[in-house]
Structure 1
Amino acid sequence: MAALQFPCTIFTTQNRMDDYCAKDMRYGDLTEAQLTSQYRLDYLYDRVDPYTLTRRSSMVRPQSMFCCNLRGQGEKITRQQCAAIMFDEFRQLSRLFSVYGSYRHLIEKMITHMQNGKGTPFRDLSLDRALKEQIFNDKTKNSTLLRIRDTLKKQIIREDKNYPIKDKDELRKTILEGKLPKFDRFQDNFNGMGITVHGIWATHISIKSLHIDNDRYRAVVHYKVQDHFGLDSDDILKTKFSQFHFFRIWFVLQRYTQFGFKPFMTNIAATIKITGAHK
């Protein structure tokens, strides 16, 4: 019976990798009029007004995000100075979502990459470690890793010491019935992972190798995932986002025609070895 050859990709999401046409990858495409009228982003925060490029003093700062009658008052600054002040505030506000843990530093690092990286992809070994831990520690029935393990156990042909190519689709089906890894657990709201990645845009899962000895097997499974560090219009129109200055500043830095800081792809990978007995 024909055997499946490795390495072999066993699952890909409908969302594709490197999709720079996605809605949350747009930048520098909205005018002041659109931001203030359609998205209610007239007032961002106390220190600067990005539309008039003025630094507000403590004497002229409005007391409400909906107050705009003091616009234009204050010290004139350059567009670069205004963006730098906003990015500093952006980083400071991010600490509300990264309270503890070994990944709390990532959001500030990614904000700085948005400021200086000009849209280049982002990669960090801490993200790879977080993904591996999330996959390995998921012991629920929806775990894709455990589902892959169980399918290998059922489908491996002991006599031929292989996985039959005709059963390749069983691997894809079992992954579809599970839950792909993402950082939406309760602890991710505070450990920095929820704000840096949260939902994942695209996922590819492959089996790098499969070795069968008597009634045991060893497999190396590779996860390649990608998320977008960017906001789309639907995001900022949701109350859970728009109520926070953090997201309001992010959206203006990304989408305002006078700033247009580029969002970027966040690339994460994890390789995990699994072993088990078959049939």
Structure 2
Amino acid sequence: MTALRFPCRIFETQKRMDDYSAKDMRYGDLTESQLKNDFHLHDVSTRIDPYTLTEITPLRQPHSRFYGSRGAGAKHSVAECAAILFDEMRHLSQAFAIYGPYKYLIEEMITHMQQGEGAPFSSLSLDSALKLQIINDFSEENSTRMLLQNILNRNIDWDKGFFPTSNREKLKEAILSGKLPKFDRIQDTINGLGITVHDTWATYITIKSLYIHSNHYRAQVNYKVQDHFGLDANDILNDKFNLFRFFRIWFVLQRYNRFGFRPFITEMDATININGIRNESVR
């Protein structure tokens, strides 16, 4: 029987890290005709028409019988139009980020999309939110932290003072039986986390170290998580997304071939400690 050596990656999602080939990472690939006919994106902005680059005035609201009349609204360049759309997107994002320490993140990420040219995004606030989500999850069926704690308690070879390599697969099975950390709780719909991350794309979990002494142990576990700040066709065709002007503007800014603003990968990283005692039952 041999000891498992650390650091040891115990879990990887099937979806890979740094996946720029994913459908929600596409940009600048759709024409005006496709956006209107395939995705029904006629009414995009209340401020400017992204197809004609013309400001929308009271007489040029999409549902007005005067819509399309000549002589209305100022004409803008593509860059000016995009800037107006991004400003409107930032304003609309406030409905998804009403309170709390993370409410400013969505505006920061929108600006990153506008200026970052597809570079990855990271934030100490997101790292902190991920860590708090993991350590505050006390559901026995879903918490990966508690499930790992149970497996460590039951499978450490206490007499020899190590975790056997033969039990490594049990660590992965524990993760698979739970729920990976994500921001899909009720409070996340208004605290800024649901709109910035919500679900996640890829997760790696690594036990960085395992210290065993007498009848106690301490494990240091790292969670590396990535999400995509981008929309695919299924997103915008979903009634839940298409209902909100925020997402319609986002999709046009990302996918319209006159704009083509690049989506990006959001990176999150959190390390937690798991402590246990021999024969301890975790509840």
Instruction: With the length of structure 1 as denominator, give the TM-score of the two structures.
Output: 0.97
**Secondary structure of the residue that 1:259 maps to in structure 2?**
coil
Q: 1:118 — aligned with what?
A: 117
How do residues 30-179 of structure 1 correspond to structure 2 at under 5 angstroms?
A: 30-63=30-63, 69-70=67-68, 73-141=72-140, 142-179=142-179
Equivalence for 1:268: 268
Q: Which residue in 1 is equivalent to 2:217?
A: 217
Deviations 1:32-76 (A, max 9, x none): 000000001012122101111111233433347xx8942774211
Shift of the 140–68 alpha-carbon distance from structure 1 to 2, 3 Å rule, reads: farther
The letter of the residue matching 1:6 is F
- How does 1:233-244 map onto structure 2 within 5 Å? 233-244=233-244
User: What is the root-mean-square deviation in Å for CA atoms of aligned residues?
Assistant: 1.3
Distance 1:137 1:35 in 2: 42
Paired with 2:163 and 2:63, the residues of 1 have a C-alpha distance of 67
Say how many residue pairs are matched: 277
CA distance in 2, matches of 1:71, 1:98: 37
Deviation at 1:278, TM superposition (A): 2.5
For 1:91-138, what per-residue CA distance to the aligned partner results, in whole angstroms no more than 9, with x for missing partners?
Answer: 000001001011000000000000000000000000000000000000
For the Cα contact (< 8 Å) 1:206–1:222, is it kept in 2?
Answer: yes
Q: CA deviation at 1:160?
A: 1.0
**Per-residue deviation at 1:256?**
0.2
Residues 59 and 66, structure 2, Cα contact 8 Å, conserved in 1:
no
CA contact (8 A) 1:94 1:246 kept: yes
Q: Which amino acid aligns with 1:180?
A: L
Gapped runs of 5+ residues in structure 2? none
Q: Does 1:4 find its partner at 2:16?
A: no
- Which ranges in structure 1 are unaligned for 5 or more consecutive residues? none
List 4+ stretches of structure 1 deviating above 6 A: none
Query: Residue type matched to 1:228 in 2?
Result: H
